[in-house]
Amino acid sequence: STVGFQERKKEIFDSATKKARRITLIVMIILDVMVAAWIPAPFIKHLTEEHNNVTNNEIDDDKKWLNFCYIIWFPTDITVSPYFEIMYLLQCILFIFATTYLKAIDITIGAMMVHISAQFEILYTALQDIDMILSVAEEKKKKNTGESRFVEPTAVNMCVEDSDKRLVTGVGTPAERGPQEWKTTYVRGNFGNTDTKHEDLPEPMCYLANFVQYHQAVIDFTADVNKAFGPVFLISFSTRQFLACVMSFQVALTWGQDNNNNLKFIFGFVTAMCQPMIFCWYGTAIIHNSQAIQMAAYEGQWYRYSKTMKQHLQMIVARSQKAVHLSACQFYVISLQTFGKMINAIYAYFTLLKNQYEN
């Protein structure tokens, strides 16, 4: 793109790359730790029961599912060998595939949101550079049209110097002149229009026109991303909210009874909240950076711009007043404010489940 200086764009892209790598690292660590905590726990519990010679009849029906990665109904008793080993292996394979899918979704969408945020940050810095480009264009125009060199003779008529140190007067009569009777004068100034303040200079005009196109392209790209991932946001946030509520409720029920399952549910809760936190964090960054463009326009020396440039700037400011955001199928905006509401809803559902269980 011709908008913005390459050095500043490179700094922004380097920063965005580091953020995307950080998201990848966080997601992979959390999901891998959850796999490490979730898969071995049922098997360890099953081995402990065998070591203690606990029979299948001594285990309550509502606790038999703790010997598996997640609850599943089967027409026969699968807590005995070899059904247990087969079902446990299948659940482990499905669990690994599910976490791999979650990694791909979280990393892809997170990196996409970082990229959009970086594009708006580039637009913000690029609009700040318009004053510098305008100043350079004005200086260039003054240099091209504002400096002239000519000979000013002492005679009334304009003269030029010949090769024999003679001055030829306007009527063509040769006359011998001394060096003290003529001089060379340098004059600086704009001999045409001396006011470049309201003039359409090509460089800033082209720069601002490219900026408008770039801004609209980023907005359109964000709209396409929102259209493609809106259903993913809706399903993911609803599912994660339900899982976080259930995991916290299970931690409250099994606290102090089974440390292996407590650890499993705690990591499950952290994993459930990881994705919404990342999405809402960078969703807020997109909103902030998209609205910051109008601040860059207000902070610039807009009073020096030509009429056409001011019209372009008005278009930019008018469009920047409406924040660009991602949403879950228009149900709610992806932002930290939504994440706070999600935490409140999880706590409300957790309190309701706990009260119903105690009663």
User: Does 170 score more than 70 pLDDT?
Assistant: no
Which two tokens mark 38?
A: 């979730």
Range in 100-104, 171-175, 289-293 with the lowest mean pLDDT: 171-175
Give 63-71 contacts, CB < 8 A, sequence gap 24+: 66/42, 66/258, 66/261, 67/42, 68/42, 69/38, 69/39, 69/42, 69/95, 70/95
Both 124 and 228 in a single domain? yes
Both 283 and 347 in a single domain? yes
Both 338 and 202 in a single domain? yes
- Assign 60 to helix, strand or coil: coil
Higher pLDDT, 238 or 129: 238
Decide if 122 contacts 10 (C-beta within 8 A). Answer: no
In a domain, 69, yes or no: no
Cα gap 88→39, rounded to integer Å: 9
Domain hosting residue 178, numbered range: 147-188
The percent of residues in the chain predicted with pLDDT above 90, rounded, is 0
Both 168 and 255 in a single domain? no
Q: What pLDDT does residue 259 have?
A: 57
Higher pLDDT, 128 or 342: 342
In a domain, 303, yes or no: yes
Q: What Å distances lie between residue 185 and 143, 151, 153, 188, CA to CA? A: 17, 6, 10, 10
Range in 58-72, 74-88, 116-130 with the lowest mean pLDDT: 58-72
Number of domains in the chain: 2
Q: What pLDDT does residue 149 have?
A: 40
Which two tokens mark 33?
A: 């730790």
Higher pLDDT, 4 or 188: 4
Which two tokens mark 329?
A: 């199928």
- Assign 175 to helix, strand or coil: strand
| pLDDT class of 71 with cuts at 50, 70, 90 | low
In a domain, 211, yes or no: yes
Query: What is the H or E stretch that residue 168 is in?
Result: strand 167-168
In a domain, 56, yes or no: no
Both 182 and 208 in a single domain? no
Both 278 and 205 in a single domain? yes
Closest CA to 272 of 351, 358, 357, 350: 350
Residue-wise pLDDT tens digits, 177-236: 444 443 434 334 443 444 445 455 556 677 777 888 888 888 889 889 888 888 888 888
Both 271 and 126 in a single domain? yes
What value does the mean pLDDT of the chain take?
71
In a domain, 163, yes or no: yes
Q: What pLDDT does residue 44 have?
A: 63
User: Does 172 score more than 80 pLDDT?
Assistant: no
Decide if 38 contacts 269 (C-beta within 8 A). Answer: no
User: Does 330 score more than 60 pLDDT?
Assistant: yes
In a domain, 42, yes or no: no
Q: Region 43-72: what's the mean pLDDT? A: 55
User: pTM of the full predicted structure?
Assistant: 0.68
Both 231 and 267 in a single domain? yes
Both 177 and 283 in a single domain? no
Residue that is last in its domain, among 188, 218, 248: 188
Radius of gyration of the chain (CA): 36
Residue-wise pLDDT tens digits, 140-151: 666 666 544 444
Both 113 and 168 in a single domain? no
In a domain, 236, yes or no: yes
Both 25 and 121 in a single domain? yes
